[in-house]
Amino acid sequence: MTLLFSLTTAEVYFLEKFDNKDWSKRWVKSTWKEDEDAAGEFKWTAGKWYGDEEADKGVQTTPDSRFYAMSAEFPEFSNEGKDLIVQLSVKHE
């Protein structure tokens, strides 16, 4: 019997779960398209389908057919000589 083990180390530079109301203090909503009345709003909600309404909350875009942009600061880092992986999850209703 042969067992293979792989040791992997990763450093997380930025993690956002949008799991509490304070997310809006960490993120800055863009003013892009506001002067054209085409900018949408972000809403903190579990959406239509969830396992636990309080634990499964995230940021939802409202209303449809609008422009959305927001950003958050994170510490400066370098991934020189390493792969950079950006991961996000989206739930479409």
Q: So what's the pLDDT on residue 1?
A: 62
N- to C-terminal Cα separation, the chain: 46
Closest to 88 in 3D by CA, of 9, 18, 10, 8: 18
pLDDT for the residue numbered 10 = 80
Is 85 inside any structural domain? no
Ranges of beta strands (E only) in 8-77 are 27-29, 41-45, 58-62, 70-72
Whole-angstrom distance, CA of residue 17 vs CA of residue 23? 9
In a domain, 3, yes or no: no
Q: Which domain holds residue 40?
A: 23-72
Evaluate whether residue 86 is within a structural domain.
no
* Total structural domains within the chain: 1
For residue 35, what are the contacts with CB-CB under 8 A and spacing of at least 6? none
Residue 68 included in any domain: yes
* Residue 87 is assigned to a structural domain of this protein: no
Residue ranges for the chain with pLDDT beneath 70: 1-2, 4-7
